[in-house]
Each structure stands twice: as C-alpha cells, then as structure tokens.
Structure 1
Amino acid sequence: MSNLSKTLLLLCLLAAQSAGSTSLFDREVDIYTAEWAPYIDLMQSRGDLRELVEIALVDVGIKANWQQLNYYHSFQFIEQNKITAAFPYFKTVKRAERVIFSDPVFFIENAIFYDRVRYPNNFDIEGHTAAVVGGYSYGENIDALLGSTRTFANDQQALRALFNGEVDFVPMSSHVAEALTLEYFPNQYHRLAKSPQYSSASSVHLIAPKTVDGQAFMDSFNRGLVVAKKLVTEIDASIDANIFGRAGGIVSLNEADGYPIVTAIPIAVSASSHSIYLVPGTRAVVLDWSDAMMGSTNNEQIFSAMTELTKVRLLDGPHQGKVVMVRNLHIRIQE
C-alpha cells in the first residue's frame, strides 16, 4: 500500500470516528478521468494523483466516484454543465474562461521529444512538425512554441508517428513519454530524446462547471486540498517514487571477469536454472535496480552486491522486449 493510500485510509477512519455515525460522507461526486500513464493508471485500483484528490475530498465529506471518459469530451461536458468534475487538466487562460480550475494539485514537467537517430545534434523545433493529441494542452509555455502540427487520437499514436518519421517531434509530459515508450515501443526507447531547451513545469488541476454549484464544489475541494498537502508530506518525492520506483537509464550488458557469458533470468521464471543467453552488448533499460545498487555497501559485501540481480527490459537482440533479471556486474551505463 502506498503512503497516499495509507493516508487516505487513516483520514477515512478519523472522519468516521469524529462523525460518530455510520456514514463517512455527506455526498458523493462522479469525477471523470482517463488513462494518463503513469499518473493515472486505470489498470490499478487507484492512481497516486487520484488518491490525492480523494484525500482532499474526504476532508470535506465528499466521496469521489471515478468514471472513465476521454479528456476532450469530459472538458466539453464540464463546460456544458453535464458533469460535476474532471481531472487532471493543465490550466491555460483560454480554458479558464470556459471552466473553473482548482488550485494546483501537482506540478508536472512538459517537454519536447525528438528522435535522436534522425537528429543526433541538438534539436530546434523551428520549421518542424509536431504530433499533438486533439483537445490537449501541454501548458501555455509549450503551446506557444507549436507551429506546424498533425493531430492524433492519443499519446501512443503521437509517439508511433515520431518513431515512424511521420513527424519531427512530440510535446508531452516527460514521465508520460518515458512510460508509454517503455510500454508500447521498448525497442525504440534509445531513440527518445528530450530537448533541454524546451521544457516547462505546469500545474494540473481539477475542473468544474462555471456555475454557482460548481464554484461551491471547487471552494470545498480547495479547502480539502490544503489539508491533503499537509497530511502527505514530501508529495513530489512520494509520487515520483511510487510511479517510477528505482528505474534507471539505458545500459549495455557485457561479459565480466569470471562471467564470460551474459545470462539473464526471464521475470516469469522463478528458478535460477532457467536462464537465457544474451549477445554481449545487448542494450536494456533498467526498471528496478537491486537493493545493493540503491544503498551503501561495505568492502566485504562488494562482490555480493555485484552478483545481485537488477530488473531490466531488453531493447535489442533475439530477446528484444523481454523483462529479465541480470547480475549487476554485467551492467554498463551508456551515455
């Protein structure tokens, strides 16, 4: 259970105790959202950002019922006062004229991504075409940079267009681009490059209709959000840790002294006798470093640390795409 889940459970128990009744909530509200990995993961019972919203609402006696609908139509229905709330959205001046935005719930980095194979040097967006998702905003700073664009239905299609050479770059939240590439295009991960000159931290918000009831609901949510952020200390570090765990960058897997053959254990196989052989130089992306690599080790434990297993996803070779465990001594960091 994540720290946010524990906080939410504790808050519910305290609410029940203080209320002295069988009901924890004064009312329930449907909140519309959609997949936005890794911040909103509909395959899980709840995502970390949703838990923060829930904590804020519990504090003011409101139960959140999560409903699934794409972000474009959710925004339209909020504007038409057909639904009560939707989450998460980046705030822009034009959007704020149409719906009510909450106080900032969380800050996320948006950036420009390009194909480092096509553009091995620093990338300049001027004169190039971007892949954008219909109805999306990438924060006002990034939005203002976009010139020629092609519109796609979702982030996966935008990334596919990038790797197929149909567009030159994609604006996207940094962690979203990394997570989707690892999930849907793992063999292309080494091609994904972030331009250091185009990035912007943008806040995400809950939205509600521009009505008296919508404003009253948002005022309540904002009060609860203040409490939620006090309860969940170091929220940025907590959410990043829960989402990304102990992942790392791109590595190569090579022979080592005493281990002339690179072997790995497929993640689905528990018995250490079931290994696969890897071509020396096989590239991988680290999904979860071993405990020893994340901490400190005394001199007597160095060899033990180097033979511990780290989880990686293979980016090329005969076993491309597989998630395996490999000894630390085979791992070399690639720039």
Structure 2
Amino acid sequence: MSLMLPFRILLRKTALVWALMSLATCGAASPSTIKLTSGTWAPYLEETPSRGIIGQIIDEAFAEENVTVRWGFFPWARSYRLAQKGLWDGSAAWACTPERAPYFYFSDPIIPVRLAFFHRRDKPIDWTTLDDLRGLRIGLSRDYYYGTTINQAIADGILEADVARSDVINFRKLLAGRIDLFPIDVAVGRRLLVETFSNEDIEQLAVHPHVVYATQLRLLLSRQIPGNEARMKQFNLGLQRLNARGRVDAIMAEAAKDLPYPVTLYGDGPDPAECDFARASTPAPVNPTETGDIQ
C-alpha cells in the first residue's frame, strides 16, 4: 500500500500535466477573431468576398498571425464612431491625423492614396499652387480628410467649400456645374464613375494629374479595447511578411487591371514622417456611459 499511493499520485499529476498541455495546444491552434468596421470605397474597400484591395491585404496580414477578421460595413461616419467608442475593435482604412491619435493605435502604412482634382472638360484647370484656383468651388465629402493644403486654402478663402454626403453626390454636382473641382483618389474616382455614371457623363469629366494630397492609409484599432496594442503588433508583423514576399504589390497589380483610363500623376508623395506624432499621443478618457448604438 505504501508503494501504490505515491504511484497513484504520480499518475494523477501526469494526467493533469497532459490535460493542461492539450488545452494550451488547442488554444494556440484556434485562431482569434477581430471585428473591424469600414465603409465602401472601391476598389480599396468593398462589401464583397474579396473586401477590395485594402480589405484583402488586412485579411491576409492578420491570417499570417492566425487571426480572422469579421467585417462590418457602415456609412463612414458611423464606421469611425463605432470603433472610436470601442463598440468594434477597429476600423479601416484611414489617414494618420492628430485628431484621431487619442482614440486609436495606427498601423504601419498599408498602401498610398493620391488625390487629384476632377473637373469638367469644358472648364479646364491648370495649377501650380492652390492660389491659381482662387474663387473656384470645391466639393468635399462629409467626414473625409483632404490634407492641410486644401484645408488651409479653404480657411484662407482661396477655395469655396461645398460639402456633400457622398462622392457620388459630388460627381453629380460637378456634372451639373454646381462645383468646379472635386478632389478624390484617382483610382476611386475612376471606379465610381464607371460603376455609377453613363459613358456620356464620363466623357464630360477629366482629371488633372497634379496630386493635391497624398497619404498612406492605415488600420485603426481602438485604444479602449484591451489587447489592441498587441493585436496591432501582430498585424504589422503580418503586413511585413506580405510586403517581403511581394504579395501586397501583387494584390494591387491584379486590381489595377480592371481600372479604366489610367492617368500618370505627378507631385509629392506621402510624407514618410506623417505619423511620427502618434508615438507621443495621450489616450482619450474613457466614458463608460457611451455604449449605445451610434447613428
């Protein structure tokens, strides 16, 4: 009996060790899930199985770290606030701005976007500085960020801003002559025109190749969600692996085949230091009462 008792205890301890190891192995093998909001902004973000260029890159970058993405598509303003309040884990894809830094962790750059002015062919433009466009009416879409150059030109009275609810409405205003200029990423503008407007409408418009604003789009993860800082590190590692294999370039090249009438742009690219300020950002205070649905 004295020999059997220690042997039984040893068996129980061994079984417990194996059980704990099995649980740990199962946990490591099971991918975690992250919930991200977005709006529709083809060809970069789309409510389709591929999710668009950026959506596909985000899916594959997280998959590199055994994380699956659950997407929710909403109007852009609501998409942003759902993530800002911590009701969803994060949102894609946004530029790095000081106003957003207290609420979000910013990812490494995913892809660059370049905004240029669409205009009517019967009202051609040419410009070196925005002062060359003084007095013209510029259409803007609500809750979009257009960069300091355009914002300052509006504040100085050089350009007259006309804000609409969507890019489609701005193109309609441009066709109707209610605005003179509409800045939009050129790939997005082309796709939107082809999918929404007639060939007759498209032939009335042109894009000036001078880039007015360039930035890198990034994933935002809410500072209110515990563990999001670590999740962002996972995403950045996955994104680095995709870039090292040339996968990001391949996704962009495949999507570019479907874009109509390419244009050669010129002007400044994104500022490499545009997100440096975010390292010193102070998180915004949490308001525990703001947990309801956001309209």
TM-score (normalizing by structure 2): 0.69
Task: Indicate the residue corresponding to 1:131 in structure 2.
Answer: 139
Q: What CA distance in whole angstroms lies between the structure 1 residues aligned with 2:259 and 2:191?
A: 14
Residue 60 in structure 1 maps to residue 68 in structure 2: no
Partner SS state of residue 175, structure 1: helix
Contact 2:125/2:208 (CA < 8 Å) preserved in 1?
no
Structure with the larger helix share:
2
Match of 1:49 among 44, 47, 54: 54
Q: Unaligned regions of 5+ residues in structure 2, if any? A: 1-23, 264-295
Contact 2:37/2:80 (CA < 8 Å) preserved in 1?
no
Query: RMSD in angstroms over aligned alpha carbons?
Result: 2.7
Contact 2:190/2:259 (CA < 8 Å) preserved in 1?
no
Task: Indicate the residue corresponding to 1:122 in structure 2.
Answer: 126
Q: What CA distance in whole angstroms lies between the structure 1 residues aligned with 2:110 and 2:30?
A: 22
Decide whether aligned partners of structure 1 residues 195 and 246 sit closer, same or farther in structure 2, where only a CA change above 3 A counts: closer
Superposition pairs of residues 139-158 of structure 1, within 5 angstroms: 139-146=147-154, 147-158=159-170
Q: What CA distance in whole angstroms lies between the structure 1 residues aligned with 2:261 and 2:117?
A: 20
Superposition pairs of residues 125-274 of structure 1, within 5 angstroms: 125-146=133-154, 147-185=159-197, 186-211=199-224, 212-233=226-247, 235-236=248-249, 238-245=251-258, 247-248=260-261
Partner SS state of residue 57, structure 1: helix
Superposition pairs of residues 3-18 of structure 1, within 5 angstroms: none
Amino acid at match of 1:86: S
Decide whether aligned partners of structure 1 residues 159 and 248 sit closer, same or farther in structure 2, where only a CA change above 3 A counts: closer
Contact 1:112/1:171 (CA < 8 Å) preserved in 2?
yes
Residue 110 in structure 1 maps to residue 124 in structure 2: no
Structure with the larger strand share:
1
Decide whether aligned partners of structure 1 residues 60 and 209 sit closer, same or farther in structure 2, where only a CA change above 3 A counts: same
Task: State the Cα distance separating 1:61 from its structure 2 match.
Answer: 1.9
Task: State the Cα distance separating 1:176 from its structure 2 match.
Answer: 0.8
Amino acid at match of 1:222: N
Q: What CA distance in whole angstroms lies between the structure 1 residues aligned with 2:56 and 2:210?
A: 33
Decide whether aligned partners of structure 1 residues 140 and 52 sit closer, same or farther in structure 2, where only a CA change above 3 A counts: farther
Partner SS state of residue 104, structure 1: coil
Amino acid at match of 2:243: K
Partner SS state of residue 30, structure 1: strand
Contact 2:221/2:232 (CA < 8 Å) preserved in 1?
yes
Q: Unaligned regions of 5+ residues in structure 1, if any? A: 1-18, 251-335
Contact 1:110/1:199 (CA < 8 Å) preserved in 2?
yes
Task: State the Cα distance separating 1:206 from its structure 2 match.
Answer: 0.6
Decide whether aligned partners of structure 1 residues 132 and 24 sit closer, same or farther in structure 2, where only a CA change above 3 A counts: farther
Decide whether aligned partners of structure 1 residues 231 and 92 sit closer, same or farther in structure 2, where only a CA change above 3 A counts: same
Amino acid at match of 2:215: S
Task: Indicate the residue corresponding to 2:5 in structure 1.
Answer: none
Q: What CA distance in whole angstroms lies between the structure 2 residues aligned with 1:25 and 1:192?
A: 51
Q: Per chain length, whose mean CA-contact separation is higher, i.e. which structure has more relative contact order (CA < 8 Å, sep 6+)?
A: 2
Match of 1:98 among 96, 103, 108: 103
Match of 2:41 among 36, 39, 49: 36
Task: Indicate the residue corresponding to 2:11 in structure 1.
Answer: none
Task: State the Cα distance separating 1:224 from its structure 2 match.
Answer: 1.7
Amino acid at match of 1:63: T
Task: State the Cα distance separating 1:135 from its structure 2 match.
Answer: 0.7
Decide whether aligned partners of structure 1 residues 43 and 220 sit closer, same or farther in structure 2, where only a CA change above 3 A counts: closer
Q: What CA distance in whole angstroms lies between the structure 2 residues aligned with 1:143 and 1:102?
A: 25
Q: What CA distance in whole angstroms lies between the structure 2 residues aligned with 1:100 and 1:203?
A: 15
Decide whether aligned partners of structure 1 residues 196 and 145 sit closer, same or farther in structure 2, where only a CA change above 3 A counts: farther
Q: What CA distance in whole angstroms lies between the structure 2 residues aligned with 1:196 and 1:145?
A: 19
Q: What CA distance in whole angstroms lies between the structure 1 residues aligned with 2:148 and 2:108?
A: 17
Contact 2:43/2:53 (CA < 8 Å) preserved in 1?
no
Count of paired positions: 230
TM-score (normalizing by structure 1): 0.61
